[in-house]
Amino acid sequence: MNMESMYQEIILDHYKNPHGRGLREPFDAESFQVNPTCGDEVTLRVAVADDKVSDVSYEGQGCSISQASTSVLTDLVTGRSVEEALSTMDAFVEMIQSRGTVEPDEDVLEDGIAFAGVAKYPARVKCALLGWMAFKDAVSRVEGAAR
C-alpha cells in the first residue's frame, strides 16, 4: 500500500520516541510556528555558540509527520555550523517540495530521507516543514541580533 511509503518505520520511530524534545535554557532565539489549516504547532529554541548550533529544543503538537520531522531536524543540525545547518535545511526543503522528483542524499539528510515519500502528498508538505520553518526563523533572529 502507498501509505507505507509515507509512514516509514524511521518516521514512526521518531514520532514515538522524539529526539531532543522539551524546551531548554539557555537559548538565543525562539520561534513559534503554526499551520493554520490544521492547528499543528511548534515552539522551537536555538542556541548558537561560536557560530555553531549548540542546541535545538522544542515543544509542539501535531501529526506524526510534523513531530518526527522536527525530531530529525535536531539530529541534523545540532553540533553543526550554522552554515552547514542551513544548507542541510535547503536540501530537506528541496526534497520535500520536489513532488518526489529529487533523489535525496543520505549522507546529507540521514534519517531525513525517510520523508521522501511525503513529497508526493502536497497536503502534508507543510507538516514536514513546520519545524524547519521554526528553525529558519529562529536562526535568522539570532543572526539579526548579532548584526
In the complex, which residues of this chain contact another protein (CB under 8 A)? 1-3, 6-7, 12, 37-41, 61-65, 67, 121, 124, 127
Q: How far is the CB of 124 from another protein (least distance, A)?
A: 7
CB nearer another protein, residue 16 or residue 24 = 16
Please report where in the chains the cell 543572526 appears, as a residue.
143
CB nearer another protein, residue 63 or residue 91 = 63
CB nearer another protein, residue 2 or residue 22 = 2
d(CA 8, CA 90): 22
Q: How far is the CB of 13 from another protein (least distance, A)?
A: 12
d(CA 126, CA 128): 5
Q: Can you say whether the dihedral through the CA atoms of 59, 93, 135, 35 is positive or negative? A: negative
> E strand or H helix at 137, and its extent?
helix 122-146
Q: How far is the CB of 65 from another protein (least distance, A)?
A: 7
